[in-house]
Structure 1
């Protein structure tokens, strides 16, 4: 067993550091980096269940990550004021959570159920949320990842998807560019009309330094001020209004650079795909790309995507079969018990489904989160977004552990993790039975509905309710916008 830890823990730590360094922005403080690295490492090292669970529970459900997140999101100018703002925001949030928990506790008392205490009730609420949402995340990944890989192997479809994405991103990029320009113009106008002896001048100097840093980092950005509203110049009344201006400027900058990064990613991928298609069409002519590069880009990569899509589809079907039959047909359980005396093979057969579940859950988590809660941008991700995804990743580590333990089916015996965690859900408290067995069935039904495009048909029948469902690659084919092709040609001409 020690060999497994000796290999897996350094590998996990390396993956966490590499991923975080890829996304982290240049102005993210070191304490944010340490917090996120620790939370990600604990979440991905879920084989160490007690350390992982209590570490992530403390980080996400108590004070550490929420407090730092509120501190980083605050626009105040001093550490004390930023802490006050963070505490105030978190108090409001936890007041709502505690109110819900109080209602649940009263219901338990009225129904004459055994009181599990405040800690048990808090764990039940957290576990219920994690299990249910985790099941939906995992179910979406089971269906969407193989389908996306299969569609991406078709160059014609993928070109249309990228072209449509570029057209949509261009509109968003223009909107965020104008928003950032307006914020910069407002900040500059506020600074110009404020005298050097004004009590608020030190706060304005902080914002001026922030603007100067923005222009140094991106020399190509030229703000173009638009029409300003009546209340756009009301930021110089007190310290709180100046903090609001600072926060607004930071959020506008983060949103603009996120869309810019996504736009450039799609443009580069679309141009590379165009080159691949042209090289394949001219494969019999002279002057083609080197033979090895041609074989990989034009032939092997396309076929490997199809093979990988089929393999992942089979894996998804295997896990869903185990969940649908309440683990009586768990192939992984059969394999593990057939080689239980060979530790290396046991670790391999445990590692494969565990890695598979982690990838699919976090794929869905990143995808839905980037549409609503946070943005991950290559080398530009802010502290607030890093802490948000840190909190979400840590929160879903226990549900992933539960799904994995269910999948390998430990001979009907409950593990220490399941005894302390698996049965503590709100439904279990009310019904006095282990309700977690029904949650995998919900995931199976949801996965089948997603795979059959049921939600797309419902949305198409009742109207454009895209916010009520995950956005899939097929959505980018809906109402195809050919203007992306024109934009792409302009980008190619500019690059050439």
Structure 2
């Protein structure tokens, strides 16, 4: 049982730490990193616990420590996703200057969300009092049912989209011509977004500078203005190549100096404009670099005979010596030959896994006919611990990726996205809350696809029933 843990748990911790380091922006506070890291670790622990839970159920050795880890992971993600993270996200998004005021702003911003959750919870408690004599023990079960229902209903649509979109995109990326056209459109679109973000950032800077210039040193809100001035100065020092030009003042842009609330709004506007500009600049640079590398690859493939089947990069000098020549040849084989073929093979494999998941989902209802390939593979593996856990781990991980993929795609078009080195606190927390809310329902859905024979039920399914 612990073999899989000893391998998977360190890899999970390392994956979370590496992902945070790669995506988090330099201004993300330490407590946000700790919260996001802990939430991601709890969410990914479901992917580790499910295979172990299945194995212990098959062998009939359902130890209490599995139930403990289930409870720890589930209630951690539940509390973080539905209570703690929304509050921290509102706190980070607020522009107020004191902890108390930022908390008030966060609570007001999340009030509608809290009211909906509170009304559902209150109605559920009333129902439990009426129809259940021992209603106190059923409150936790009701909370689990509401959370799982939300995740299962909305997650079904997300999963269905990801199951078809991911294999199709992998197959498309293997086509250089199509990928080059898509990158050309994407680069043009990001150039427009970057220009707009640059203009908005310049406008925000112009408003800050004009407001600071007209405000006297004796003004009651001058200390707030000094904080904003220092923040702007730090932003400009961090980006010395920034071209400040074309800042415009609108009709109401000189009304920010009336009280603390308007100064908080100005601070929030400047911060959000800066974050959006950095995000667009980073994404634009990444897409341009990807387009240039693809162009390099196509050129090397077309001139392979003239170059002696060696990769000639337009971004660096040729490698010297015999070893350098061998590395150039190896890079050519990988970039121009193997990579494209492996993408096509991967697309076919992912397409087959998607079809198997859809077939298992279609026969999920109690019709007496179960066409679950994963159930067959797990039952065939018998009591071989590592084999059972690997067979369960792979499709569950793929279901997680397929469910989260549409969330990230939607976020990139709306309010949040994972941008290497420039992901803000609000974006990290938004993505973190989504990951935490969907991890348990995905695991529960996968367990429903597995028919272990007889009336055998995993620890997670038993806890959900209670």
Q: What is the TM-score when the length of structure 2 is the normalising length?
A: 0.85
Which whole-Å CA distance do the structure 1 matches of 2:128 and 2:41 have between them? 39
For the 8 Å contact 2:204–2:247, the answer to whether it is kept is no
For the 8 Å contact 2:24–2:428, the answer to whether it is kept is yes
Aligned counterpart, 1:268? 289
Q: Would the alpha carbon gap of residues 119 and 343 (structure 1) be closer, same or farther in structure 2, given more than 3 Å must change?
A: closer
Cα deviation, 1:205-228, whole Å, max 9, x if unaligned, reads 111111111111111112223432
Cα deviation, 1:112-158, whole Å, max 9, x if unaligned, reads 86586655544333222111111112111110111001111111110
Question: How far did residue 384 of structure 1 move?
Answer: 1.1
Q: Does 1:243 align with 2:226?
A: no
Question: How far did residue 295 of structure 1 move?
Answer: 1.2
Q: Does 1:17 align with 2:17?
A: yes
Aligned counterpart, 1:305? 343
Question: How far did residue 104 of structure 1 move?
Answer: 6.7
Question: How far did residue 370 of structure 1 move?
Answer: 2.3
Q: Does 1:407 align with 2:449?
A: yes
Aligned counterpart, 1:321? 359
Question: How far did residue 246 of structure 1 move?
Answer: 0.3
Q: Does 1:359 align with 2:417?
A: no
Root-mean-square deviation (CA, aligned residues, Å) is: 2.1
Counterparts of 1:6-85 in structure 2 under 5 Å?
6-46=6-46, 47=49, 48-62=69-83, 64-85=84-105
Which whole-Å CA distance do the structure 2 matches of 1:41 and 1:131 have between them? 21
Question: How far did residue 105 of structure 1 move?
Answer: 6.9
Q: Does 1:391 align with 2:433?
A: yes
Which whole-Å CA distance do the structure 1 matches of 2:101 and 2:246 have between them? 31
Q: Would the alpha carbon gap of residues 269 and 57 (structure 1) be closer, same or farther in structure 2, given more than 3 Å must change?
A: same
Which whole-Å CA distance do the structure 1 matches of 2:15 and 2:248 have between them? 46
Aligned counterpart, 1:380? 422
Cα deviation, 1:159-213, whole Å, max 9, x if unaligned, reads 1100011111111111111111100100011011111121111111111111111
Select 2:110's aligned residue among 90, 115, 120.
90
Moved over 4 A (4+): 100-106, 112-121
Q: Does 1:417 align with 2:438?
A: no
Which whole-Å CA distance do the structure 2 matches of 1:384 and 1:396 have between them? 19
Cα deviation, 1:26-69, whole Å, max 9, x if unaligned, reads 1111111111110000000011422211110111123x212211
Counterparts of 1:40-439 in structure 2 under 5 Å?
40-46=40-46, 47=49, 48-62=69-83, 64-102=84-122, 119-286=140-307, 288-289=310-311, 290-326=328-364, 328-411=370-453, 412-421=455-464
Q: What is the TM-score when the length of structure 1 is the normalising length?
A: 0.80
Cα deviation, 1:377-410, whole Å, max 9, x if unaligned, reads 1111111111111111010111111122122223
Q: Which of 7-16 and 87-96 deviates more?
A: 87-96
Question: How far did residue 79 of structure 1 move?
Answer: 1.4
Which whole-Å CA distance do the structure 2 matches of 1:87 and 1:150 have between them? 45
For the 8 Å contact 1:130–1:396, the answer to whether it is kept is yes
Which whole-Å CA distance do the structure 1 matches of 2:353 and 2:186 have between them? 30
Aligned counterpart, 1:430? none
For the 8 Å contact 2:43–2:77, the answer to whether it is kept is yes
Question: How far did residue 259 of structure 1 move?
Answer: 1.4
Q: Which segments of 5 or more consecutive residues in structure 1 lack a partner in the other structure?
A: 425-496
Which whole-Å CA distance do the structure 2 matches of 1:321 and 1:375 have between them? 32
Q: Would the alpha carbon gap of residues 267 and 124 (structure 1) be closer, same or farther in structure 2, given more than 3 Å must change?
A: same
Which whole-Å CA distance do the structure 1 matches of 2:188 and 2:401 have between them? 29
Which whole-Å CA distance do the structure 2 matches of 1:93 and 1:281 have between them? 57
Which whole-Å CA distance do the structure 2 matches of 1:267 and 1:8 have between them? 36
Q: Which segments of 5 or more consecutive residues in structure 2 lack a partner in the other structure?
A: 50-68, 312-327
Which whole-Å CA distance do the structure 1 matches of 2:415 and 2:375 have between them? 37
For the 8 Å contact 1:185–1:223, the answer to whether it is kept is no
Which whole-Å CA distance do the structure 1 matches of 2:97 and 2:438 have between them? 34
Which whole-Å CA distance do the structure 2 matches of 1:227 and 1:359 have between them? 43
